Structure 1
Amino acid sequence: MQPSPERRAERIGVIWLLADMTLISAMAALVKMEGAQYPAIQLVFLRSVVGVVIILPLVWRHRREIRHTRHTGRHIFRITCNALALTGNFAALAALPLALVSAIGFTRPLVVMLLAVLLLGERISTIRWLGAALGLAGVLVMVAPGHVPLDPGLAAAFASVLFGSLAVVQTRALKDENTTVLMVFYTVGLSLISAVPAAMTWQPVQPADWAPLLAIGILAQLGQYCFLRAYQTAQANVLAPFGYLSIIFATATGYLLFGEVPRLTTMAGVLVILLSLHITRLLDNRRG
């Protein structure tokens, strides 16, 4: 029996999302290597500028669609949400342990599901809610955040999750928009927002570092394209649980490139996440 068009679209969307995770993992490895020498905001600015240069030919080719977009307000809202999410993430990283920030970040799929219902009218099955909750439990097993006092850093971390989730939902709402238009608004907007703080903290770039710094921008732009195609192809509530897989990509990258041996709790959490995804898809396919 051939899968329905909706099922095929979901599978293609997942493939696009996995491609995004692969590219972003490679980019994260380069950022980790270069981050010891250059401020994070400088890396963000260089990444976005490289992205602008890469998409210039596409900007010219699709200039009519960009000029005549009917969703300017929604684009601005999405970019604003992205900017607030990045700001919150930077503030949280400065105030909280990295493991805790990562744990809070992986609550995003649950928030995306809720916002997809509230803002997009998408329907979410009980099976997917249970699968997402089980995946979240796996993340908590891995990072074991423990007791955390309420402070501005914690608020910033949750604000990052909220605004990042809003940006994801807005991407889904713009599924009929030209992908190049989405990339242009995001990339140019990020460049403008990061320009001033990057200039204030700028460190001279050594000649040997230009190649990896440029690669960061290239990988980020390719990853963004895959991410946009994923959410234009499949519904947000279908893709959201697969967001948990990014921690597996991060764990593998850390082990292979930096010798970061995962703890037993990390491996246990990975198994829980994989189990949750498998059970969710298996039961959901039976329902369909």
Structure 2
Amino acid sequence: MAPRIPDGVAWLLADMTLVTGMTVLVKLSGATIPAMQLVFLRAAVGLGLILPWVWARRADLFAMHQPARNAFRVGCNAVALSSNFLALTALPLVMVNAIGYLRPIVTVLLAVALLGEKVSRARWIGSVGIACGVIIAVGPDLRGTAGRDIDATGLVAAVVSVLFGSLAVVQTRALRRESPTVMMLFYTLGLTVLTAGPAAAVWQPLSAADWPIVLAIGALGQAGQYCFLRAYRRQEAAVLAPVSYASILFAAAAGWLFFGDRPSAHLMGGTVVILGCLLWAWRHEQGSAST
């Protein structure tokens, strides 16, 4: 019998599916709606959606364990999401994805340094193999952008998004004893408050055609956040971080379906290497655990 996919991995795959849908909508609407306005609207819509659920579980709010860490996590998320939306609207999608693939490695390093999580030899070897797969997958495409004028602000935003996104992931794992109600309210309310001022400064009126996309961005983002929290409550950050590389499949499929970017041979080859390394590391650890 094949080993069962761990619950944390299943929740993370669900999160990646939802976030990919949100990313497509952000990319489609980024030409007419400023990035900061999109972040604020995503948070405000999500807040409206979860308020009835929060009210029904309001007793959880009085059992909060670490308010300061919750606030730090929200700040990291606000910086990461705002930077990511800015990068998506300023850079080629392949470049944003390539820089984003640094996040799992950064997350593993931070999980070891800040949480003291243990990383097995198999997982380190798998991570190196995965990094090689990423180079195979996106390296030629990045070289293809060499002749373009690359927005320096967008490039810095993409790197900042990786750093603060990794910090937010590590904080999420450290808060695994916290109720999902507390964490979702902190995240969504905090993001709404922190981005309200910047969004007001660049605000553009929305047309009737914009609202369905904005509402969908908020709904997909909030559902993805719930799945993300569930994943990191059930699994160590150092285990889940390499699995995040499977998002290359979601990005490739989305680019093909919505932007006409046919997967290249090197992208598919790199994807095979990434998934092969993930499977090898997973089965090796499963075998070690059973002996």
Normalised by the length of structure 2, the TM-score is 0.88
Match of 2:255 in 1: 254
CA-based RMSD of the aligned residues comes to 2.5
CA distance in 2, matches of 1:192, 1:57: 19
Q: Which runs of 5+ in 2 are unaligned?
A: none
Q: Any conservation in 2 of the 1:51–1:217 contact (CA below 8 Å)?
A: yes
- Summarize the Cα distance change of 1:39–1:112 in structure 2 as closer, same or farther, 3 Å threshold: same
Distance in structure 2 (CA, Å) of the matches to 1:92 and 1:221: 21
Check the 8 A contact 2:39/2:82 in 1, yes or no.
no
> What is the SS of the residue equivalent to 2:21?
helix
Match of 1:143 among 131, 138, 141: 138
State whether structure 2 residue 245 is matched by structure 1 residue 244: yes
The amino acid that maps onto 1:179 is P
Task: Tell me which residue corresponds to 1:268.
Answer: 269
CA distance in structure 2 between the partners assigned to 1:251 and 1:2 by the alignment: 27
Q: Report Cα offsets for 1:211-241 as digits up to 9, x if no partner.
A: 2211111111001000000000111111111
Q: 1:109 aligns with which of 104, 108, 123?
A: 104
Match of 1:209 in 2: 210
Superposed CA offset, 1:144-197 (max 9, x none): 145999x77655543332221111011001111100111111111111121112
Unaligned residue ranges in structure 1 (runs of 5+): none
What is the CA distance between 1:89 and its match in structure 2?
3.8
Distance 2:219 2:85 in 1: 22
How many angstroms apart in 1 are the aligned matches of 2:155 and 2:259?
28
SS at match of 2:262: coil
| 1:43–1:77 Cα change, 3 Å | same
1:104-136 superposed Cα distances (whole Å, 9 cap, x missing partner): 221111111111112212111011111122112
Q: Deviations over 1:21-68 (max 9, x none)?
A: 111111222222222221122211111101100111122123232244
TM-score (norm 1): 0.89
Q: Is 1:161 paired with 2:162?
A: yes
Instruction: Report the more deviating stretch, 106-115 or 256-265.
Output: 256-265
1:124 to 119, 122, 130: 119
Do the aligned residues in 1 keep the contact of 2:184 with 2:225 (CA within 8 Å)?
yes
The answer on whether the counterparts of 1:110 and 1:133 sit within 8 Å (CA) in structure 2 is no
2:178 counterpart SS class: coil
Please give the alpha-carbon distance, in whole angstroms, between the structure 1 residues aligned to 2:153 and 2:33.
26
Q: How many Å separate the matches in 1 of 2:112 and 2:70?
A: 20
User: Retained in 1: the 8 A contact 2:31–2:89?
Assistant: no
Q: Deviations over 1:77-119 (max 9, x none)?
A: 1112222323544665677654334222211111111111122
Instruction: Note if contact 2:79-2:161 (Cα within 8 Å) is conserved in structure 1.
Output: yes
* Pairing 1:183–2:184 present: yes
Which range moves more in the overlay, 190-199 or 229-238?
190-199
Equivalences for residues 55-66 of structure 1 within 5 A: 55-66=50-61
Distance of 1:233 and 1:70 partners within structure 2? 18
Could you say what secondary structure the match of 1:207 adopts? coil
CA contact (8 A) 2:27 2:88 kept: no
Separation in 1, partners of 2:91, 2:28: 21
CA distance in 2, matches of 1:22, 1:93: 18
8 Å contact 1:20–1:223 — kept in the other structure?
yes
* Conserved 8 A contact 1:108-1:161: yes
Partner residue in 2 for 1:170:
171
* Change in CA separation of 1:132 and 1:12 when aligned onto 2, cut-off 3 Å: same
Q: Partner residue of 1:229? A: 230
Alignment-derived partner of residue 78 in structure 1:
73
- Could you tell me which amino acid in structure 2 is paired with residue 212 of structure 1? I
3-state DSSP class of the match of 1:116? helix
